[in-house]
Structure 1
Amino acid sequence: MLGNPGNGSIDKHIGARSVRHKHGFRNLLWVILLALVAALGILGWSGYQLFSQAKQVKKHEEKAIEMLARSSTLSDGSVLDGYIKQQLPVISKETREAKVIAHGTLWNAAARTPVYGNDLKTVQGMTDSLDAIVTGPVPELLTVASNLEHSQLSSGDGRLNVEPILRSQKSIAAGSADMHKQVVTYNNLPLPRGAFVKDAYLSGRTTLNQVSAQIQQFSNSFQMLPQFLGADKPQTFALLAMTTSEARSSGGLIGSIGVITTDKGEISVGNFKPNTDYLSYGIGNPTPDEVNVFRQWGPLQMSFDVRDLAVYPDTSRSAESMQAIWQRTPWGSKQPIDGVILVDPVFLQELIKINGDIKLSDGRVLSGQNTAEFLLNTVYKEYAPTQQDMYFQQVAEASIGGMFSQINMSKLTKVAQVMSSSAEGRHFSMYVFDKNMETTIAAAGFTAQSSSSAEHPTVGVYSTEQNASKMDWYIHRRAKVTRMHCHSNGSQTYHVYYTMTNTLNSQEVSSLPAYIVGINQAGQPQGYGIEKMLIYPPADGAISNLKTDGTVSELHKTEMNGKTLYASIASLAPGASVTYSFDVTTSQKTISDLRVDQTPMGWMDSGPSFDGSACSASGH
C-alpha cells in the first residue's frame, strides 16, 4: 500500500515526459522538413539561376564565335581590316560577359559538385580561351594587318616589295602561335556530358580550329613568300603545266614545261617547251613500288617521262623525277632548278579573276569564268595539238607573271588565299629542294602529298586515266562523308561514299574528236573513262568494308613507298557511274574532321558533303 502512491506519481511523471518528447520530436521533424523544403527551394532557385546563366553564356559565346568565323571568310584584306576594327569591341564584350558570368560565385560553387561540375569547369575553360583569343592574338594580328595595309608593297614593274613582309614575319608568327596555344587549351578541355554544353563545346571547337588553321596558313604563307620571291637569292623553278582532262594522281598529263624565275620580289615566266622536247632525255627515277603500281599493272603503262610525272600522289616524287630529267637536258645542265611547281588551268583562272581578263594572240578573251573550260576542253575541239601548248603558255605567262603587279594588301591577301585554296584542291602544288624552305612551304599547305598526319586525317582518292584521251573533263566525282562513331580512345569512324559519273552523252561521242574521246589504243572504247583508282587510308588509320557498285575490276590491297593503299580499275561508259563505299577509322591522335584529298577536276570543287552529327550530343 505504501508504495502505490509513489508508483502513481512516477507513472504520471514518465507520461508527462513522454508527451514532451513526442511534441519535441514532432517539432524537430517540422524543423527538418522546413529545412529540406527551404534547401530544395534554394537548390531549385540556384538551378534555375544556373540554367538561365548558362543560356546567357551560350548566347555570348556563340555570337563571338560566329563573328570570328565570319571574319575568316572575308577575302579582301582591307575589308577584313575594317571588319575586325569595327567588330572587335563587340566580340570582346561578348567574351568578357560570358567569362564574368561563368566565374561567378554560383558557378564556382556548382563546379565543385560531382559529375556535372566538370561540365561547368569546361564551360569556364571555354570562356577563358575565347576571351584570351580576342584580347591577345586577334588584336596582335590586326595591328600587323593594318601596318601592311598602309605599307608600300609594290616596287613597280610587277615587283613585290618584300621588306614590309619581312618586318612583319615575327609578329605574324607570334600572333599565330598565341592563337594556336589557346585553341589547343580549348581542345584539351574535358568533353562535356550534358547535351546542352556538349553541342556548344563541339561547335566552338570546330570553328576555332578552322580559324586557327587559316591564321596558321596565312602566317606560313608570309614566312615562305619572301623566300619564294628571291628575297635572299634568285630562285628558279620548273613549271609543269598539267591538263586534268587526262588525269594523273596529282593532276594531269604534263603538256609543257616552263621556267619561273624570282629575284627580290620580281617574278617572271617563260621558256616554255612542249613535252616532246624532253622525251629524248629519259625518264624520272621511279621506285620499284611505283613501277609495280603504274607500269606493270595496266591497262595503260606509265612511261615515267615528263608527261607522266604527276602520276605520283606526292609532289615530292614529281619534283625529284623532274630534277633527274632536267639535269640531263642541255638547258637544264646550265641552269639548276631550286624546285618544281605544278599548276592546272583552274589555278590560272583563279589568278585571272584577280588580275583581270587576258586577250590571246587570236583575239579570244579569257576571263575568271571561262579559262579552265577553254584550256581543258575547247582547245582540243578547235585547235591542233601544236597550238594547244602555245595557248597554255600565253595564259600562264600573263596570269602568273601578273600575280604581284600593282600589289597592295588587298590583292596580296587574295593571291595568298588563291594559292592556299588551289593547293588544297591540288590545282597548285610546289616542292623545293632546300629542306628548310620546303619545311615552311609544306607547313603552308603548298606541297600536296598522300595522308601523313595522324592528327589531321585524310583519305586519299586518286585517279589516273587509262584511256589515252581527254575524257576526264566529263568524269565528275563527288564524295559523301558521314561520321558514324566517336570512340573513347580518341579515334573516329566514318563512312565514305565516293561516286564517279561519266557525264558524256553516248550520242555526243561521234561528234567529238578522237583526241578527246580516245584513240582506240589498247582496245579501249571511245567515250569511256577508264580510271586506275588508288584509295589511301589516313595515317595511322584504316579502311574496312570496301565495296563497289558499277564496273570495277582488279580490286586489291597493296603498298607503295611504305604506305598501304587499295587499287582497282573503274570503267565508265557514257552516262554510267561507279561508287566506292567504305568505312574509315582514324588515329587515336585525331583532332580534326576527316578530309578527302583527291585528284583535281576542271573546276574548284566545293568538297564532300559532310555529316558530323554522330559526335554531337544530339547525335547519340
Structure 2
Amino acid sequence: MPRSEKRSEPRNADTLVRWLRSRRARQLACAVGGLFLAGIAWIAVTGMLARNELLAAQRTLDGLRQQMAAGSAATSAASVTGTPGAAVDVAARHAARAHRLTTGPAWYSAAHLPVIGGPLRTVRGAADAADRLTRDVLAPLAHTATELTAVTGQDDGSLNLSALRRAAPALERASRSASDVRTQVAGLPRSSWLPSLERARTQLIAQLDRIVPATVDAAAAARVMPSMLGEQGPRRYMVVFENTAEARGTGGLPGAFAILTADRGRLSFERFGNDTELAKARATVDLGTEYAALYGRNAPTSVWVNSNLSPHFPYAARIWTAVWREYKGQKVDGAFALDPSALAALLAAAGPARLPDGTAITAANVLDMTERTSYAAFPKTEERKEFFLDVARATADVLLGAADDPKRRPALFTALRGQLQEGRVKVWSAHPSEQSELRPRPFGGTLPDSSDPFAGLVVNNAAGTKLDYYLDRRLDWVPGRCTAAGREITVTVRLTNTAPGSGLPTYVTQRVDAPPYRTRPGDNRLLVSYYATEGAQLDKATLDGRPALLNHAVERGHPVYTVDLELPAGATRNFVLHLLEPHSERPPSLLRQSLVRPLQATVRPYVPCGD
C-alpha cells in the first residue's frame, strides 16, 4: 500500500470521530434545548393555571366577605355552599391546587436562575402563602365563627362559650401561622421586571397586615371571652356612652350609662342612667403622681364629666367603676365605652331602633340626632337627657336582639370587631389576667408606656360647649436631620372650627368657662395636648407663628405639651412643635382620639441618618 494512503487513514478516522462527537453534541444540545423549552412551556402553562386557581380563591373569599358585610349569613351561604366555613374550604382547595401547580423540578430549577428566577420565586411563594393562609388560618377562623354564630340548642340565643373555649388552641395556631406567612411573604423578592407581580406582592402583604391582627384578636378573644361573658358565674359591667360633641381624652364627655350583665353568654341590661345621677359621686382611686400632677389631685375623680380627661382609657374605667361602687355599693367587673359613631356602625348591621314615640333611630341619623339636632328639639335639659336614655334603651334592645339572632349575629359581630379595631368601642376588665390580654389591643385604649416612636394629639373641651361636633383636626409629623443628641422632629397641628356663626341652639354655644375676653356664639376653647415619644425634648413651640406658652408634664413616660387656645367660629389655628427625639428608623404609632370627625394625619418618611 502506498505510504500516502497509510498516512490518510488516521486523518479520516479523526474526522469521523469529530463528526460523531459533533453529532452527539448536537443531539445533546437539541435534547437540552428541548427540555428547556418544555420546562418553559410547562412553567407558562402551570403558571397560568395557578393564576386562575388563585383568582378563583380570591373571588370566593371576596364574595363571602361582601355578603357577610351586607349582613346575611344565609346570603353568604348561597355564594358557594352552605356556610362561611364551606366557602373558605372551596377557596382552600383552589389555593392548594395553585400551590401544587407551582412545585416540582421545573419550578424549583427555574426559580434559581438569574433574571427570571426572582419573579418565579415570588409566584411560588405567593401560591404557597395562599395555600397556608386558607388552610391554616382562614379555615379555623371560619369554622369557629360558624359554630359560634349557629343556634346553640338553647332557646335564649346565648353564645356558645364552650365552643369558643374549645376553639382557643386552633385559633392560637392560626395566629402563629398568619404571622409566619406574613414573614414568608415579606422575604420574597421585592422587585422584578414584572410590575404586575410586584403589585400583587404588595397587595398580599397589605391583606396579611389586616389578617394578622385579626387572628391575634381572635385568639385573645377565645382566651378571655368565656370568663368575661359569665362562663363561671354572672358578670356585671358599666357601659358609658360618650358624647363626642364635647371632647374628652378618651373621646367624648361621659353622658348616659348602663349596667350590663353577662351570665353564661346571655347579655342583658339591668338599668340605665345619665351623668346628672352621678354628678356628686366621688371615686376613691389612686392613679399615681404623674396623673395627679397633670390633671389635678381631685378634679377627674370628683367631677364625673371630667373623669376621662386622660386619653388612657384604663384610668377612666377605674374611675367609673370606683364611682359606681361608691354610689351604689355594687362591684362591677369592668367597663365599656362607645359613642354615637360606633352605634351607627352597629345599627347598620343590626337594623333600626324605635323610640317610644315611633321615631326611627338608624345608622344614618343616630349621630346627628344625639349630637346636633337634639339640642334644638329639646331645649330643656331634663327632656334632652331623657331622650338620650330613650335612644340608649332602644338601641340596646336592637343590638341584644341581633346578638340573640343567629341570622343577624355574623353581621353584628363583624361590625363590632370593626369598631373595636378603630377604638370607638373600648374595653377594660377589673380582672388582671383578662386586662393583660385587652391592654395591647386597639380597643384597650391604652397610652403605651414604651420608648417606641409615638405621636398623640388629644383635645379636651375647656369651654363647656358642644361645638366639637364641628372640629377638624390635622396632624403632620415630619422627621428632620439627625444630630448627636437625637433626631429633629417637626409636628404641625392644625385645628379648624367649622361651626356656623349663627343659628345654633344656646346650649350648644354657651360658655361655662367665663373667659376674661369677649367671645361670640360659636367660639370654642380647647386644651390641646401633644404626646411625644418617651425621651423627647422640646426645642421650641409656636402658635400661629408666635411663641406659645405651654404646660409641660409627663404621662406614662410620655412628655405632654399642652396649649390653652381660643378657637373662634370659622377660624383655624396652627400649633407647631420642634422636638428632638431619640434616634429611630421606625414610624411613630399614632393615637387617634375618637371624635365626630376623624383625625387627618400624615407621617413623612425618615431621611436616613448620614444622608
What is the TM-score when the length of structure 1 is the normalising length? Answer: 0.75
Question: Does 2:180 align with 1:184?
Answer: yes
Partner SS state of residue 399, structure 2: coil
Alignment partner, residue 521 of structure 1 = 514
Alignment CA distance shift 1:140-1:218 (3 Å): closer
Alignment partner, residue 313 of structure 2 = 315
Give the drift of 1:373: 1.8
Alignment partner, residue 569 of structure 2 = 574
Asked if the contact 1:78–1:410 (Cα under 8 Å) also holds between the matched residues in 2, the reply is yes
Alignment partner, residue 393 of structure 2 = 397
User: Alignment partner for residue 432 of structure 1, among 402, 423, 429?
Assistant: 429
Mean Cα displacement is larger for which, 541-550 or 351-360?
A: 541-550
Give the drift of 1:570: 5.1
Q: Deviations over 1:245-283 (max 9, x none)?
A: 110110122234442233331311415253464425367
Question: Does 2:65 align with 1:64?
Answer: no
Q: Deviations over 1:370-394 (max 9, x none)?
A: 2222221222233222333322222
Asked if the contact 1:247–1:599 (Cα under 8 Å) also holds between the matched residues in 2, the reply is no
Q: Deviations over 1:285-335 (max 9, x none)?
A: 453333444459xxxx86762211221212111122234434433x22xx1
Partner SS state of residue 601, structure 1: coil
Alignment partner, residue 600 of structure 1 = 594
CA distance in 2, matches of 1:313, 1:236: 24
Give the drift of 1:129: 2.6
Alignment partner, residue 560 of structure 1 = 555
Alignment CA distance shift 1:572-1:425 (3 Å): farther
Asked if the contact 2:541–2:548 (Cα under 8 Å) also holds between the matched residues in 1, the reply is no
Give the unaligned 5+ runs of structure 2. Answer: 481-487, 607-611
Asked if the contact 1:217–1:443 (Cα under 8 Å) also holds between the matched residues in 2, the reply is no
Alignment CA distance shift 1:405-1:89 (3 Å): closer
Partner SS state of residue 372, structure 1: helix
CA distance in 2, matches of 1:547, 1:241: 35
Asked if the contact 2:165–2:226 (Cα under 8 Å) also holds between the matched residues in 1, the reply is no
Q: Deviations over 1:233-254 (max 9, x none)?
A: 1222223332111101101222
Asked if the contact 2:525–2:567 (Cα under 8 Å) also holds between the matched residues in 1, the reply is yes
CA distance in 2, matches of 1:210, 1:65: 15
Give the drift of 1:58: 5.4
Alignment partner, residue 418 of structure 1 = 415
CA distance in 2, matches of 1:385, 1:438: 37
Instruction: Output the amino acid matched with 2:174.
Output: D
Give the unaligned 5+ runs of structure 1. Answer: 1-8, 485-492, 615-620
Q: Deviations over 1:165-218 (max 9, x none)?
A: 322432265146325414423424524142434432232122133134334434
Instruction: Output the amino acid matched with 1:308.
Output: N
Give the drift of 1:417: 2.9
CA RMSD of aligned residues (A): 5.1
Q: Identity of counterpart residues, as a percentage? A: 15
Partner SS state of residue 199, structure 2: helix
Alignment partner, residue 501 of structure 1 = 496
Asked if the contact 1:241–1:342 (Cα under 8 Å) also holds between the matched residues in 2, the reply is yes
Instruction: Output the amino acid matched with 1:104.
Output: G
Alignment partner, residue 127 of structure 1 = 127
What is the TM-score when the length of structure 2 is the normalising length? Answer: 0.76
Mean Cα displacement is larger for which, 346-355 or 130-139?
A: 346-355
> Looking at both structures, which has the greater relative contact order when contacts are Cα pairs under 8 Å and sequence separation is at least 6?
1
Alignment of 1:157-306 (within 5 A): 160-162=157-159, 164-171=160-167, 173-175=169-171, 177-178=173-174, 180-189=176-185, 190-195=187-192, 196=194, 197-221=197-221, 223-264=223-264, 265-275=266-276, 277-279=278-280, 281=282, 285-295=286-296, 305-306=303-304
Alignment CA distance shift 1:153-1:293 (3 Å): farther
Partner SS state of residue 199, structure 1: helix
Alignment partner, residue 342 of structure 1 = 337
CA distance in 2, matches of 1:293, 1:413: 43
Give the drift of 1:552: 9.2
Give the drift of 1:87: 4.6
Alignment partner, residue 490 of structure 1 = none
Q: Deviations over 1:547-600 (max 9, x none)?
A: 98689944687531223455444543222334678999999897xx97644222
Partner SS state of residue 227, structure 2: helix
Give the drift of 1:447: 1.9
CA distance in 2, matches of 1:281, 1:436: 27
Give the drift of 1:537: 5.5
User: Alignment partner for residue 449 of structure 1, among 446, 450, 461?
Assistant: 446
Alignment CA distance shift 1:108-1:547 (3 Å): farther
CA distance in 2, matches of 1:273, 1:341: 15
Alignment of 1:31-110 (within 5 A): 57=50, 60-61=53-54, 64-65=57-58, 67-68=60-61, 71-73=64-66, 74-75=68-69, 76=71, 77-83=73-79, 85=81, 87-88=87-88, 91-110=91-110
Asked if the contact 1:463–1:531 (Cα under 8 Å) also holds between the matched residues in 2, the reply is yes
Instruction: Output the amino acid matched with 1:424.
Output: Q
Instruction: Output the amino acid matched with 1:131.
Output: D
Asked if the contact 1:176–1:212 (Cα under 8 Å) also holds between the matched residues in 2, the reply is no
Alignment CA distance shift 1:175-1:302 (3 Å): closer
Q: Deviations over 1:75-128 (max 9, x none)?
A: 334444554647546533542343233223222113344687566445433322
Asked if the contact 1:459–1:537 (Cα under 8 Å) also holds between the matched residues in 2, the reply is yes
Alignment CA distance shift 1:253-1:358 (3 Å): same
Partner SS state of residue 409, structure 1: coil
Alignment partner, residue 376 of structure 1 = 371
Alignment CA distance shift 1:408-1:324 (3 Å): closer
Asked if the contact 2:467–2:508 (Cα under 8 Å) also holds between the matched residues in 1, the reply is no
